[in-house]
Structure 1
């Protein structure tokens, strides 16, 4: 649901019939409040109603063209315009960074439910190094939490998921405390059984039991305001979503698997406990504003992977594979910026940023095979510190023509150590190795934008920007030594032309952008089944080009149609010394390194998009009935690192979602029936070849996405 600049809801939200037209969506993508249609960035904005319509509470549930989430192992990885940091190396910084209320989230586990009780989510495509800075080589996602209110209000929502055999409860209370203070308390509980069937125990997996609570306090004293937030999250899951498949046919995902619990590491699943504390203050110095954003984040996680033991054809392999990844993370950050007034010929924002963090990951692996039982483990410790200075200035040559220039200098230092060894086994499988390293690097990320209003509410822009991501270390690959411990920073540059328009008295909103993005020293991690290991390092060069567009039409009161789509072409320009791909003739254990120039990157669809239709009918008795139908999909893509033409290709798909909601005209309560993936399309978010001797029988493994789910939702507001 989009919000207008004065806080009223868009026409399609319901209530009694309203005037037709697009609301003014206000965003902070350039560190100050602006209308979305005035911001020269290709971006999508998802508001509370957008996220709640189909119960999107994680990145995988978002339907944003040219953004997707891949998963192999324990981490979800966000890809933007074809680029992201693979999940297999746990210490990778991300190429698409997450910011929650202005605080940088260096690891995906920092926020248990990133989209809980939010005001909006801003998805910014392309490098955002100048203003956001920290590891935004491919893009950034900014999440803005709902704030304490000056009047008393609250809500409670319950959801029962029939497909997951479980429920979700959430709600909030918000209001004034007196003396300029207000508060907001929000909470969420999830208890679901999962959508996979583990035949070994006749149980559903992965179960998900989670609790989240957030307390926000706000003080507004006129010239000074401050919002403090404390958030605690606990999530625990039992089971996994990997299933086995043949190596010689297309992907054949199913919803059954067979896996026992491990005697050393226990059952597959994860448990995460996280604390996030943040404070944002604004001091108004005449027409200037001085802003401080302080953040502290901590999580402790334990994650165990296991792989389906079912042999394609119906048998059960005697081998089992388990990997355990206990993690611990601390981060402190501080940003200060000064914002000038607007309305003159020149305005600006200047600031400084600092953070430090500590990260630990312990890896344990058990390969239980007919030839014997192998136990291995590794330890990784890293300390990191960074600081930066940034500024953005806008020159208004006229009311229609503007020049925006931004610049950021960042300095990062890291030190790390690694130890890996084989604890037991009938013969040596991996050697004992150690590694130590440190790095210190500085980067400059500039951007420049020309912006011109060609007509009333029609703006065109041209942008050149650079982004960067710091170098780092190999955290969880057995056999790591000083020779292969460190990888270089990656850099990106982006050229973009765009148009944003609001036409026909607000009935039609049409935006589009074309771009070309280039990466140097792209950081990669690929699984080589011939060597039974992950290879972490830098590819020389890669590039992508494409087009993104969105269209929203308001043909009548309480009726809107939204469509967005994208095309991209992403490939390596130069990647010497790479391992050969499974689809290359003769690729095998003894194949010489190759250059993958001209080959596409994994996890990339050429086409992606979605369409959503929303209509609200006014019923007798002062009631209304809202219906929302949406379709989102993408074209085929390789989701295995070796780009196999059989087990490594996820075919193109489209998924159908629908919602029907009954409520009174004032929306103080509602009942809704929600269906996601109604055609029950089974897709995979990752795949790879599990080879001999890691297993007795070589087979493909898939990470299976959720199937169809029907849920019943009830909510009350007061």
Structure 2
């Protein structure tokens, strides 16, 4: 670690020395970076928020297809697929795997909130820029932004006609993509932009048991944007997007297996061996169910933005409707035995409406005021097939399926305002306040059936509850709750169970901003935020006291500075932060078949982030960002044990269900001490008609914990990844051809890992992991007309 930090800082110092030595040379300039983190278009150097930003051009050049791909370039940001869901973390804070959870990081696309984790999988299409706002953003962005917000802006129609065809070819994974863009004015006041993209890939995992390559993916997405500006005062923008994503297989494998578990796997595949690489041996249950993993999703997004100027004021209306569905069936034993599979079907519909009133800027007092409303309908069905006889557990009499349904209706409304008092030319005081009201109502059923049917089997249900500790039949609705347990299948009613919850919050922030010089802005900010509480979708045991979890809150202090140096040739931004979280929502695997959801007492997150850019010459630009993070539980004395701890506890006479550990003082998930990204870009003209562009990106991460129970078996070690690109284009940028290399150091890294289910049935201390892509090369072509 020490060598990395010294090397990184030395490289930065060398770059600064080069710039300083060239004071007499021609003066290159960095382009101004415009962001909308404050709901106004402003220079990033004027915004008192820690922001990481990536332009649409960089996204296209690096073939970044999703937020998961983007996160690799941003220190203190982790976005990846988990075992049963998607995870978005900033500064070590995020939401665990539970389909009842909302996210700790809010994702906004053109002003529309995407609250479900699936938003991280949506393919990037025609993106203008992505802003990652770090720390709570409760005033302007609302609930579920306790860790930060991701603000995505897509492109709109331009004033001139634009036609672009782009394509890429990745031979290692048999991948290709093509994109068509048509944009321009139709009349003096009306314009349109149409973008259609198709992408396919065969993946990078070789499944020796089935002979398949995984994961194969086929994505098709299209977007139509219509812009109308009938007067200088009125601007109307309509956007419709439709997408479909289909995948088969998965990038997971059994990475660690005990001798006993290996012998069981080898009953199905004599050549089975656990290991962390790109070869796997796995098969899903098959027969009535698919014999391979699959995940299909499709979505429709409608957005209508209307902005009207009256005098120097503006009022904006942003209306959004999101309708998405997904269905999947995943191999939950992760090996070739074909005995555990889980499928999910989810439908999510969301309507949002925001009104925003903005005052003119440059006055003594400036303000923003808004109203927000959101309505959601969530329907989530899951089915779990446990063909235990395929794993040598029983002779078939214990084979069963489990059905579950979770429906939830929720609504949120809030009012907010932000006031800026310009105390003088150099000082300003910014205060924000937001009142929010959230309501949720759910129904939930879960019961055991005969295999692959919907026929309830109470005899099997009693065994799965009392003997296997796998699931418990239960039913929850507005009439109360019923839980049926034990081999005798005794049902207990809970008429006082409440399937509704309501909460309200007052959140906000205060910022003191000081322009120390014309080129140096400093700020101090204190703010709070919350993530809504809710109901546990994954509560397979029907635990009444654990069905509902409480809201999570945070108070954050941040001090920072944004500096423009060397007459516009360099920028450097720094932020130091300290956050205290109360009732942190956590989800930990119980080692058997489910997750335990609850609220950790306290956690503390602190660190420093530094980023900068230097135009060394007209041809060379150097970019760097580095982060130090210390994120740990301050008080979490009853966390779930990891599997090695369970085995010790049982050997001492305890039970699996009774084992707890004290995580106080231990690190949070996905919180490396150090992480960094550096890039060197080069551009020059070749003769009168050609241009050469090249770039190299280095991404570094310290080691970090992956599993919530901090099991060391699946922790990720430190790594450095390198991407590089070289492109040749004509001087007018009509055409270009480029070669992109990713992960040139061929690092093997994991985004997720945990225990293989049914530890109590012989799979103790056996683990699966998700593995990232190996080294790859891609050919990119682009033609404009």
| TM-score grouping bracket, smaller chain normalisation | over 0.9
Match of 2:613 among 521, 540, 552: 552
Unmatched segments (≥5 aa) in structure 2: 1-24, 260-273, 452-459, 465-469, 478-498, 651-655
Match of 2:447 among 417, 421, 432: 421
Equivalent residue number for residue 237 of structure 2: 227
Partner of 2:473: 432
- 33, 49, 53: which one pairs with 1:25? 33
Matched-pair contact (CA < 8 Å) for 2:313–2:359: yes
2:670 & 2:258 partners in 1: Cα distance? 20
Counterpart of 1:474 in structure 2 is 536
Q: CA deviation at 1:147?
A: 0.6
Aligned twin of 2:6? none
Q: Does 1:641 align with 2:664?
A: no
Kept in 1, the 8 Å contact 2:589–2:595? The answer is yes
Give distance in 2, aligned partners of 1:352 and 1:167. 44
Q: Does 1:287 align with 2:342?
A: no
Check 1:110–1:683 CA distance in 2 against 1; reply closer, same or farther (3 A cut): closer
TM-score between the two structures when normalised by the length of structure 1? 0.93
Q: 1:570 to 1:112 in 2, by over 3 A?
A: closer
Matches within 5 A, 1:236-635: 236-246=246-256, 252-261=275-284, 262-266=286-290, 267-307=292-332, 309-310=334-335, 318-369=337-388, 370-371=392-393, 372=396, 373-424=399-450, 427-428=463-464, 429-436=470-477, 437-529=499-591, 531-582=592-643, 586-588=648-650, 589=656, 591-635=658-702
Partner of 1:9: none
SS in 1 for 2:156: coil
Q: Equivalents in 2 of 1:31, 1:148: separation in Å?
A: 20
Secondary structure at the aligned position of 1:211 is classed as: strand
Q: Secondary structure at the match of 1:399?
A: coil
Question: Aligned-pair distance for 1:114?
Answer: 4.8
| 2:754 alignment partner in structure 1 | 688
Q: Pick the structure with more strand per residue.
A: 1
- Counterpart Cα distance in 2 of 1:551 and 1:379: 49
Aligned to 1:10: none
* Contact 1:253 1:683 (8 Å CA) reproduced: no
Q: What is the rounded CA distance, in whole Å, between the counterparts of 2:166 and 2:576 in structure 1?
A: 41
Cα offset for 1:595? 3.4
- Counterpart of 2:225? 216
Q: Distance in 1 between matches of 2:315 and 2:540?
A: 48
- Structure 1 residue runs of 4+, over 6 Å off? none
For residues 587 and 459 of structure 1, the distance between their equivalents in structure 2, rounded to whole angstroms, comes to 55
| Contact 2:691–2:728 under 8 Å retained in 1 | yes
- Closer, same or farther: CA 111–332 of 1 in aligned 2, 3 Å: farther
2:103 is matched with which residue: 86, 94, 105? 94
Whole-Å separation in 1 of the counterparts to 2:632 and 2:450: 42
Using the TM superposition, name which of 196-205 and 576-585 deviates more: 576-585
Quickly say closer, same or farther: Cα 1:392–1:114, change in 2 above 3 A: farther
Tell me by how many angstroms 1:240 deviates: 1.1
**Does the 8 A contact of 2:66 with 2:120 survive in 1?**
no
Q: Give me the whole-angstrom Cα distance separating, in 1, the residues matched to 2:275 and 2:120.
A: 33
Label 1:458 to 1:604 Cα distance change in 2 as closer, same or farther (>3 A).
same
- SS in structure 2 at match of 1:666: coil
TM-score (norm: length of structure 2): 0.85
Larger radius of gyration: 2
C-alpha contact (below 8 Å) 1:655/1:678 kept by paired residues? yes
C-alpha separation between the residues in 2 aligned to 1:666 and 1:573?
57
Partner of 2:48: 40
Equivalent-residue separation in structure 2 for 1:166 and 1:544 (angstroms): 40
The answer to whether the Cα contact below 8 Å between 1:184 and 1:217 also exists between their aligned partners in 2 is yes
Q: How many residues align?
A: 692
Deviations 1:257-316 (A, max 9, x none): 122242243131110010000011110011100000000000110022214655xxxxx5
In structure 1, list runs of 5 or more residues that go unmatched. Answer: 1-16, 311-315
Secondary structure of 1:240's match? coil
Q: Which has the higher contact order (CA 8 A, sep 6+)?
A: 1
How much has 1:468 moved relative to structure 2? 0.7
Say if 2:333 and 2:757, in contact at 8 Å, map to a contact too: no
CA distance in 2, matches of 1:337, 1:305: 43
